[in-house]
Structure 1
Amino acid sequence: MKRLQVLMLGASLEQNGGIATVEKLIIKYSSPQIEIQHINTHDEGSIAHRVIVFGKALATFFWKLLSQKIDIVHIQISEGGSIIRKAICCVIAFIFDKPVLMHTHGAEFPLTYAKLPQGVQQVLSKLFQRCQGFIALSESWQDYYVLNLGLNPKQVIVLPNPCELPTEIPDRKNQTQISLVFCGRVGQRKGTFDLIKAFANLPDHQRKCTRLIIAGDGEIEKAQQLAANLNLADQVTFLGWINSEKRDEILSQANVFILPSYNEGLPLAILEAMGWSLPIIATPVGGIPELVISNQNGLLVTPGNIQQLSSAMELLIGNEDLRLSLGITARKNVEPLDIRNYSIRLEDIYYSLSQFN
């Protein structure tokens, strides 16, 4: 089997968020037969900084296509400006007659796409239809892209995000202090404010034996002010953005993971929590309901329904047997998504697309 040269275009590997995490996992666990070179097309910062980063990325992309034998161009795409940036990268790859694997992540891609002029939508659809492969994170996302972008169903590959599974799971029996954990960008889309309000609605006796930990960047000051207004300042801990080591430490000590989002792709945070054998409280948006099944490995609540969210929290805080059984099933359900299995599948995809080169 010949060695493949893959160019991956996507967010900076130093950036916070799930896309960078997936990129790093793919690179870390790629086999010796796959050489992946990463080109940073986006970084956080001012508009001028982002333009400079993308300009350098295009120059590097051109140079590598001119000077090296590249077999696959693997493009990570999100929402917003990412759609236009990656469309430009797509055109360049097609000029050099390289197979393109588009890898979609954006939870709000449909919102961005719907706002674009019809002519732009048609151009983007034509570009995406020319891609040799198109990765969607779930079957529901696959249906969206086929229906709205006119993709061939055979072109779209359902490949949920991967995760690194811990080898040892802590014993969580007979714990009197319960830890509820949220990991993600603090703000409205992820339901952080709903979570704080729902926590405030818990019965006093439960709230006194429970702590809510919120890890992530974003609108932290606004969330802290809300917690203070609800007299929760001593019971809600804000960690800001945390690295993978701190994340694993927090999840190992947690009892329940909560992510009450309004829009999602397939959040890596949920996969990581399931890997730590945690029951999940989440919303049935994006690819989540294909992974989180109510009363099997977690509980699903309606986005924005604070009473439902409070009730789900109250149920799991008060029922240790249910917490543990849901968590055990969560771990079993996520094992097929271990990065080692994912890497084998992605390698097969690379080789199947390389025939177009």
Structure 2
Amino acid sequence: MKILLLGGDEKILQANSDSQKRLAGYGYLAEQIYIVIFSAKKIQPRQTGNVFIYSSGGCFRLTALCKGYFLAKKLIKQEKIGAVSSQDPFESALAAWYLRKNCSIKFNIQVHGDFFSQKFWQRQKWLNFFRYYEAVWLLKKADSIRAVSQRIKKSLIDKFEISAEKIIVVPIYADFSSLELMSSVKKPDTYSLEPFVFLIVARLSKEKNLPMVLRVFSKLRQNGRGAVLRIIGEGREREKLEGLARKLKIQDKVEFLGWLNKEALCSEYRIADCFLLASDFEGWGLAPLEAAYFGLPIVMTEVGVCGEIFQPKNDALCSSPRDEQKFLVNMQRVFSDRVLRELLGQNAKAALAKLLTREQTMELYKKAWFT
């Protein structure tokens, strides 16, 4: 069967990007895979093996959606495509539902984010109130749903009474092959003379709740403890976060590094002492898995891989989202207890054995698309 994928991830349009390479690797799952990205960027169609990538073009979001819909409809008729899968349960899913209705093909929705188990996402902006109910309606119309975690599957069943049989959990495959050589390199001899390094790898967006981390880090510093915070990532919140660091008078102890290439990122994992994740919600979360691969102790909120890969207290120190005091206590414990740090790091790395292999992940994709 030929498959059509719809979404808004513009990284897929970038030549040789990780997103494009990942999707190209799915080619053997279907006769052909066609990908339409809703984007203002108009590129010439690209082909990698039996995977074809298109962009909609269009100056505005609504224009891009309309152009993408008609492009997708044309591809379905020309190429006799049998199923459509949307990258999200919102606007992409709405376009996919119209295609299913007008072209009589199978309709799959992918849910990458934990949007529904709590209300943090709904409160981010007023538009999400309407998108929430849009998603509820569309999810019930889908022939199958791919959720990236059991947590998301449970929220869909509990909140919307969606049949468990049509929800297939397909975690995001974690490929550590590019990190393998880097992880075995020892830390520099001068490492023990350096301050304690807390590390964050995240998009600088509201749901990552980085202001809480800055406040907690400031309190930890007030206790006379020498530590630095290194933040890898970019996003709309960067200017606000830099301003908050200045307000808290920790700007000389917090460094915003932007996005780094793989080699530089691995170097940061190697010199770090503890990995932090304070998100309000996560679908899965590759960064904590990478941190575990490097044997780092992890302090995180109870989101994403917490509870599925990492067991609280044993593999990572976890707290409820927005629980600032508990997050501070967990940071202090890791900071002050070397034995605990080593134990958590070892346990987190061992927990990676629970991850599915690439072959197992691909089989679940086939089940989600062809059910």
Give the TM-score, by structure 2 length. Answer: 0.78
Structure 2 counterparts to residues 1-357 of structure 1, below 5 A? 4-14=1-11, 23-24=19-20, 26-30=22-26, 32-34=28-30, 35-42=32-39, 48-77=59-88, 83-109=90-116, 111=119, 112=122, 115-116=129-130, 121=133, 125=136, 127-165=138-176, 166-168=179-181, 169-170=183-184, 171=186, 175-177=192-194, 178-203=196-221, 207-208=225-226, 210-216=227-233, 217-285=235-303, 288-337=306-355, 341-350=357-366, 353-354=369-370
Q: Deviations over 1:302-331 (max 9, x none)?
A: 333333222222221222332222122222
* Residue 144 of structure 1, CA deviation: 1.4
* Residue 61 of structure 1, CA deviation: 0.7
| Structure 2 SS opposite 1:308 | helix
| Structure 1 SS opposite 2:215 | helix
Q: Deviations over 1:126-181 (max 9, x none)?
A: 54234232112222211211233332111111222222213242445973433211
Q: Number of paired residues? A: 336
Gaps of 5+ in 2: 42-57
Shift in CA distance, 247/335, structure 1 to aligned 2, threshold 3 Å: farther
Stretch of structure 1 that moved more, 24-33 or 274-283: 24-33
Greater relative contact order (Cα < 8 A, sep 6+): 1
Q: Is the 8 A contact 2:299 2:318 kept in 1?
A: yes
Shift in CA distance, 147/91, structure 1 to aligned 2, threshold 3 Å: farther
Q: Is the 8 A contact 1:297 1:330 kept in 2?
A: yes
Q: Is the 8 A contact 2:197 2:273 kept in 1?
A: yes
* Residue 42 of structure 1, CA deviation: 4.9
Identity of aligned residues (%): 21
| Structure 2 SS opposite 1:303 | coil
| Structure 2 SS opposite 1:163 | coil
Give the counterpart letter for 1:115 in structure 2.
F
Root mean square deviation of aligned Cα: 3.2
Q: Is the 8 A contact 1:278 1:326 kept in 2?
A: yes
Gaps of 5+ in 1: none
Stretch of structure 1 that moved more, 58-67 or 143-152: 143-152
Stretch of structure 1 that moved more, 51-60 or 29-38: 29-38
Q: Deviations over 1:184-224 (max 9, x none)?
A: 2324421211111111112568642x220112222112111
